[in-house]
Amino acid sequence: MATKTGIQVTPPTDKPAVALSKEEVMRYSRHLIMPEVGMEGQLKLKAAKVLCIGTGGLGAPLGLYLAAAGVGRIGLVDFDSVDSTNLQRQILFSTSDVGRPKIEAASDRLHGLNPDIQIDPIETRLTSENALEILKDYDIIVDGTDNFPTRYLVNDACILLGKPNVYGSIFRFEGQVTVFGHPGGPCYRCLYPEPPPPGLVPSCAEGGVLGVLPGIVGAIQAAETLKLIIGKGEPLVGRLLLFDALAMRFRELKLRKNPECPACGEHRTITKLIDYAEFCGIRGEEAPAPQTTVPEITPRELKARLDRGDDIFILDVREPHEYQICNLGGNLIPLGDLSKRVNELDSSREIVAHCRSGKRSAEAVEFLRSAGFRKVLNLKGGILAWSDEVDPSVPKY
């Protein structure tokens, strides 16, 4: 076995001539003594170039394990800064990193873990203009992003460049993992030809996520990436792995290559990158979904009117568990129950509906107006804006 010969092993052909130092042999000894990795596999890891898109929940365990495993060059793409709500799951970061650019904090952490590898900090938002240029230098792309436009962008760029895309995504306590763009295998568009319209599927910011879930899913992505590099085992190609942390159950579904796929099919129509925000019907992740305008009241106006003693019924359309986090003393009827409980409301009174950010309550206002309520307003910006503008003692979540 090649592993016994230590640092004298000839690297695999068509790879750059790399060798391991004495210190590296020691560091990677638990890989080297395993025939599935061995010296040959470890040298492949050292020669490998992996791009991690997103350094958040999925990118954290991924980056840590790839760096620890000795992947020679790791590119990190992110444009965000660390905030305190990240720390519940993004284990790359420490409390002292809050406010720092994620790329900078992540690079420091990975360098601290493994000073022998090259980290490429790429502090930018991946766009149709820069994606091909950024991706082209890497062997494997790992998608740990958090929004549909970037996921379709990463997919199409990987297909155009012929690079594998190790995909993982999460919601609350459920995850999906697979490998797209492998020769002969399906791509993301084979699985989902189109994204959901904005607003129909809640994001993690709205739906929450169990902190350890991205840890598990990101670690599976890391395992698949390492397997692709060393060329061992059975890659997760043509199989969609579903994980439910609440039931603690893994399931596997067959994933087929769609012959009609516009990105990877025989008669493909996607020959260059497109406008993915437009494709997904939105203008970027932060932009709110286009909404019909409903009558609004600002937190300051509401405060002034309540102080004046105006008779206003405050309707809180959030969920009971959110009410426990913080509330404005309103009457709780979750949006999902509103149609059943509408008879509890007095249409002769003035009603101000609110939620966390103003999005769900806008739906509530629209519904109530269609049900004949005339004096109903939406609290602009929800409880978040109330905390900013009126009462900073109300916690934001």
Q: Which residues are catalytic?
A: 204, 355
| Stretch 62-91 residues interacting with another protein (CB under 8 A) | 78, 80, 86, 89
State the amino acid at position 291 in one-letter form. Answer: Q
Closer CB to another protein, 240 or 306, in the complex: 240
Q: Does 397 bind another protein (CB under 8 A)?
A: no
Alpha carbon distance 170, 209 (integer Å): 8
| Stretch 240-279 residues interacting with another protein (CB under 8 A) | 240, 242, 244, 247, 251-256, 258
Pick the stretch among 25-33, 68-76, 142-150, 300-308 that binds another protein (CB under 8 A). 142-150
Q: Return the structure tokens found at 75.
A: 């590119």
State the amino acid at position 189 in one-letter form. Answer: R
Closer CB to another protein, 10 or 192, in the complex: 192
Q: Is 350 helix (H, G, I), strand (E, B) or coil?
A: strand
State the amino acid at position 331 in one-letter form. Answer: N
Residue appearing with tokens 């969609």: 240
Closer CB to another protein, 202 or 231, in the complex: 202
- CA 71, chain centre distance (Å): 23
Q: Does 55 bind another protein (CB under 8 A)?
A: yes
Single residue of 3, 145, 225, 378 touching another protein by CB under 8 A:
145
Q: Does 61 bind another protein (CB under 8 A)?
A: no
Phi, psi of 171 (to 5 degrees): -155, 120
Alpha carbon distance 219, 197 (integer Å): 30
Residues that contact another protein, how many (by CB under 8 A): 53
- Sheet strands (E) in the chain: 49-53, 73-78, 118-123, 140-143, 165-171, 174-180, 239-244, 249-254, 296-297, 312-316, 331-332, 350-354, 376-379
Q: Does 170 bind another protein (CB under 8 A)?
A: yes
Closer CB to another protein, 80 or 116, in the complex: 80
Q: Does 288 bind another protein (CB under 8 A)?
A: no
Mask of contacts with another protein, 306-345, x by CB under 8 A? ------------------------------x---------
Q: Does 176 bind another protein (CB under 8 A)?
A: yes
Q: CA–CA distance from 256 to each of 157, 180, 190, 264 (Å)?
A: 20, 11, 7, 12
By CB under 8 A, name the binding residues for another protein: 54-59, 78, 80, 86, 89, 143-148, 151, 168-174, 176, 191-196, 200-205, 207, 209, 214, 217, 240, 242, 244, 247, 251-256, 258, 336
